[in-house]
Structure 1
Amino acid sequence: MYSHFGLRTLCLGCRDLEEDEYKEWSKKFQDASCSLDNREHKIAEVCNSLEQGIHILGITAIEDRLQDGVPETIKLLRKAGINVWMLTGDKQTTAIQIGLLCNLITPESKGQLLSINGKTEDDILQSLERALTIMKTALERKDLAFVLDGWALEIILKRSLESFTKLAMMSRTAICCRMTPLQKAQLVGILKSSGSLTLAIGDGGNDVRMIQEANIGVGISGREGLQAARAADYSIGKFKFLRRLILVHGRYSYNRTAFISQYSFYKSLLICFIQILFSFSSGLSGTSIFNSISLMAYNVFYTSLPVMTIIFDKDISETTVLRYPQILLYSQAGRLLNRSTFAEWFGRSLYAFVVFLITINAYADEKSDMEELSMVALSGCIWLQAFVVTLDTNSFTCPQITLIWGNFVAFYMINLILSAVPTLQMHTVMWHLCNQPSYWITMALIVAAGMGPVLALRYLRNVYRPSAIDVLQQIEQTDGHAQAPGNLESSTGTYLDYLLTDLRRNKSSIHQPLLSDSASSR
C-alpha cells in the first residue's frame, strides 16, 4: 500500500537459528564469496536459503522527496529528443510512482506501460515478444514505456537478448526496477554495443558501475556520499543542473568542436593547395613558394590564435536554448559535423586557386622576386582566415575581436620587423609591399573573390530556406519578431514549429538513451 504513494518500504523480520545451522550456512556463504565463477548468483542463492520462515516484525515507509526541478529537467530532456530510462533498486510499484512524480511517464500513459514479467521463464519471454509487437505497431511510440525487474532481465539476457535489444532501441522510456549494480552496468553495455551514446547519472555507490560503463558518467554529490561523483566524468550538485550540462554546455561544446576540427583541415588545405599549384607552374622543380619562417608561423601564430576565439562563441543564447530544447536535435543528428559540412569546408579550401591566380597575375613579372610573390600569397591566406573566422562567429566579445583582428595586425608587425633584418631573405619585402597600392588592391580582390560566393550563398539560404537556428537568431535580434519565408505561413512560431518537427522526423540517427538512476534525492 505504501509503495502506491511512492514511499520506500522496508520489511523487518527475524528468525532464530541454531548454532550448528548458522555454522553450516556461514561455511556455504564463505565458499560462495570465494567462488571465481558466477559469484554473485551463488551468494544470492545462499542468502535466499537463509531467508525462509522469517517472523515479520513490522514495516517502515520512508518518503524520499524528489529534488527541486527534477520533473522540469526530465521534461526538457525528453523534448530535446533524449531517451530517459530509470534504473533503480526500488520495487516496481514504487518505481512507477516515482516515474509519475518526475514526469518520466504521465498518468495518461500509465495504462500503456508494457510490463515484462511472469511466473516462469516462458511467461517472461512471451511478455517480451508481446511488448515488442505492440511497440512495432504503435503509431506514437513516445507514449509507450516498458517496465521490467531484475529477475526478468536476468532471464532475458540469457535467452532473448536480440529481442530485448530491438525493444530497447525503439523505446523512449523504460523503468527497470529491482536492479543490482551489475545489471545496471549490463543495460548500459547493451545500449552501447547497439551504437547508442549513453549518459548515466547517479548519486550512490551502487551507481558507480553504471557510471563507469556509460560513455559519459555524471555523479551527484549529496547525502549518499561522494562515491558516484568521484567515479564520474562530471560531478554536479543537483539533478536539475543536468539540463544546463547537456542542453547548454554540451551543445556549445559540440558546435565549437565541429568548427575547430573542420577549420583546422581548411586552413592547412588552403596553404597546401597553393604550394601544389606553384609546383605545377614551376615545372615540378620542388621549390617551395613559402620560406621556412612563414610556414612555421602560419600554423603556430597566424592561424591558431584567431580560432581560439570560438570558445567564447554562442550561436543562440542560453535562454533560447532552454526555451527551445528541440534545437539539440541538430547536434544529435550531426548536422554541423558530417560528410556534407566537411565537403563544404573542403570546397572553401579550393579558393586557394583564387589566391594563387590573383597573386600570379599581379606579381609574377620580371620586377617581382620570389620573396614578394611568397609574401603576397601568404598575406592573401591570412586575410581569408580573418574573414572566415569573422563570418563564422555568431557572437562577438572583446576577447574575440582582440584575437581575430589583433592577430591580423600582429601579422604585419611581425613581418615588418623581420623585413628590417638585413640577414634574412625577406629583407625590405614587407616594407616595399605595404607602400604599393597594388598590394592592397590585390588583397581586396582576394577577399572579394574568396568570400563573395560564400556570403551570397549564406544570404540566399537565410532568406529563402532558413534553418531553425537561423529563425531563432532572427527572433533574438528582433526582440521576438522574425519573418518566415513567403512559401510558408508568415507566423514565426508556426514556421519554427514546422522546422523543429521536420528536424525530428528527418533526424538521421535514433534517439539516444539517457540512463539514470532514480531521480529522487538520496
Structure 2
Amino acid sequence: MKDDILNQIKASYQVTTNENTKDDPFALVVDGKALEIALTNDIKDDFLQLTVNCASVICCRVSPKQKALITRLVKKYTGKMTLAIGDGANDVGMIQEADIGIGISVLEQDVSSDICLQFPALYQQGQKGIFFSWKRIIGWMGNGILTSLVISILNVYILSPLAFRKGGQVVDIAHLGVTTYTTIVWTVNCQIALIITHFTWIQHIFIWGSIFSWYIFLLFYGALPPVYSNREYKLLVEAVGPAPMYWIVVLLVVVISLLPYFIYMVIQRSFYPMDDHVIQEMKYGRKVVVDDETWLREKQSSRKATHIGFSARVDAKILYLKDQLHKKRMFIIKSITNSPIRRSITTR
C-alpha cells in the first residue's frame, strides 16, 4: 500500500514538472487514509513536493490531528505564511498551527448582526491560552480535590452516627460504599451538565444515561448469587433503595458538592464575564445589549489589533522582501549566464 502511494506520488510529480504540462493547473485530491500514509517520514517529502506543484490540494475525510499536522508541515516545508479557516471544534488544532487562524460561526437571524464583531475577540481566548492556562488547570484540580473531600466527609459524617433503616439498623461498608459512589456519579454528570452551554440529544443520553446505567448495574449485579455479588447481594432492592436516608444523603451531598462551582460560575458571569458569556447571553437570552458596558468593552476588544496579527504582518513583509530579493538574484545570474560576453568566454 505504501509503495503504491509512493509510486503514484512520483508519477504525478513527473507529470506536473513535464515541460508540456508545466503551465497547466493541477489539483490533488487525497482522503484521510491515504494522507495518513503520505505523511509518514519516508514519504512526506515526496508528497509535500507534489503538493506545492499543484494549484490546489483538497484533503477530505481527515481527522483534526491530520488537519493540524498538514498545516504544520506545509508551513515548515515551504517556509511561507499559512492561513487556516475553520468552522468547528475539530478545526481548532489547524487554526492554532497556522500563522493566521480564522474561525467562522453563524448565529440565528433574529440576533443583531453587530454580533459578528465579537468573533475576533472569541478567538483571542484560544490564542492567549485562556482556556488551557495553568491557572485554569490548577483551578479544576482544586475543584476536584474540594469536591472529593466534601463527598467523602459528608457521607461518613452523616451516615455513621445515624440509624440507616427502621429498627436501628446502621450502615456497613457496603451501604457506605454504594451511597458514596452514587453521589460521585451524580456529581460528575451534573458538573458536566453545568459546563455545557448547548445541549443536544446525544449529550442528554450520555449524561443522564450514565446515571441511569449505574442503577441498572446495581440492580443486575445485586441479583447475582451471593457467591458472585458478595456484600452487594440485593443491596439496591432490599437495603439502600427502600431507605429514605439513602436518597436524602445523595441529594444533599450532590447539592453541596456542586455549590462551590455554581457560586463561582454565577459570580464570574455576573461581574467578570468572558467573551463567550456575552455571546451566550445575547444568543440564548435574545438580548441586544449594544449599549451595555460589557458589550462596548468586547466590541473594542474585537477591533483591537492583536500581537499575533501584528507579528503575522511583519513576517509577511519579510517573506515578500526575501522573495523579491531572490527573484532579482536569479534574474541577475540568468542575465550573466546568457550574455554574449559570457558565451564568448565560454567558447574560447
Which of the five TM-score ranges fits, normalised by the shorter chain?
0.5 to 0.7
Q: CA deviation at 1:346?
A: 1.1
Match of 2:141 in 1: 346
* Inter-partner Cα distance in structure 2 for 1:221 and 1:399: 43
Q: Is the 8 A contact 1:468 1:500 kept in 2?
A: no
Match of 1:430 in 2: 236
Given candidates 183, 191, 206, the residue that maps to 1:380 is 183
Match of 2:332 in 1: none
After superposition, where does 1:399-418 map in structure 2 within 5 Å?
A: 399-418=202-221
Match of 2:224 in 1: 421
SS of match in other structure, 1:444: helix
Residues 304-352 of structure 1: CA deviation (Å, up to 9, x unaligned): xxxxxxxxxxxx9822597523321211111111211111111111211
Residues 225-254 of structure 1: CA deviation (Å, up to 9, x unaligned): 789xx9x94479xxx994226x76433999
Residues 72-124 of structure 1: CA deviation (Å, up to 9, x unaligned): xxxxxxxxxxxxxxxxxxxxxxxxxxxxxxxxxxxxxxxxxxxxxxxxxxxxx
Q: Is the 8 A contact 2:150 2:257 kept in 1?
A: yes
**Could you tell me which amino acid in structure 2 is paired with residue 462 of structure 1?**
R
Q: Is the 8 A contact 2:223 2:234 kept in 1?
A: yes
Structure 2 gap segments, 5+ residues each: 1-22, 26-43, 72-81, 97-102, 108-114, 162-168, 321-348
Match of 1:362 in 2: 158
Cα 1:253–1:452, aligned 2, differ >3 Å: closer, same or farther?
farther
Q: CA deviation at 1:395?
A: 0.8
Quick check: 1:473 aligned with 2:280?
yes
Please identify which structure carries the higher strand content.
Answer: 1
SS of match in other structure, 2:106: helix
Given candidates 494, 503, 514, the residue that maps to 2:296 is 494
Match of 1:318 in 2: 105
* Inter-partner Cα distance in structure 1 for 2:154 and 2:53: 61
Residues 57-79 of structure 1: CA deviation (Å, up to 9, x unaligned): xxxxx9x9xxxxxxxxxxxxxxx
Match of 2:326 in 1: none
* Inter-partner Cα distance in structure 1 for 2:120 and 2:208: 34
Structure 1 gap segments, 5+ residues each: 1-61, 65-207, 214-218, 256-315, 484-488
Cα 1:249–1:503, aligned 2, differ >3 Å: closer, same or farther?
farther
* Inter-partner Cα distance in structure 2 for 1:444 and 1:382: 12
Residues 346-368 of structure 1: CA deviation (Å, up to 9, x unaligned): 11112111111111022225721
**TM-score normalized with structure 1 length:** 0.38
Greater relative contact order (CA < 8 Å, ≥ 6 in sequence): 1
After superposition, where does 1:224-373 map in structure 2 within 5 Å?
A: 233-234=66-67, 242-244=84-86, 249-251=90-92, 318-319=105-106, 324-350=119-145, 351-365=147-161, 367-373=170-176
**TM-score normalized with structure 2 length:** 0.55
SS of match in other structure, 1:482: coil
Q: Is the 8 A contact 1:362 1:442 kept in 2?
A: yes
**Could you tell me which amino acid in structure 1 is paired with residue 271 of structure 2?**
Y
Cα 1:493–1:348, aligned 2, differ >3 Å: closer, same or farther?
closer
**Could you tell me which amino acid in structure 2 is paired with residue 380 of structure 1?**
T
Cα 1:211–1:495, aligned 2, differ >3 Å: closer, same or farther?
farther
SS of match in other structure, 1:385: helix
Match of 1:449 in 2: 256
User: Which consecutive aligned stretches of 4+ in structure 1 deviate over 3 angstroms post-superposition?
Assistant: 208-213, 219-227, 232-236, 251-255, 320-323, 498-505, 509-515
Given candidates 384, 388, 394, the residue that maps to 2:197 is 394
Cα 1:447–1:317, aligned 2, differ >3 Å: closer, same or farther?
farther
Q: CA deviation at 1:375?
A: 0.7
Cα 1:503–1:409, aligned 2, differ >3 Å: closer, same or farther?
farther
Aligned length: 235
SS of match in other structure, 1:319: coil
- Identity among equivalent positions (%) equals 13
Cα 1:411–1:254, aligned 2, differ >3 Å: closer, same or farther?
farther
Q: CA deviation at 1:374?
A: 0.8
**Could you tell me which amino acid in structure 2 is paired with residue 250 of structure 1?**
D
* Inter-partner Cα distance in structure 1 for 2:211 and 2:190: 10
Q: CA deviation at 1:510?
A: 9.2
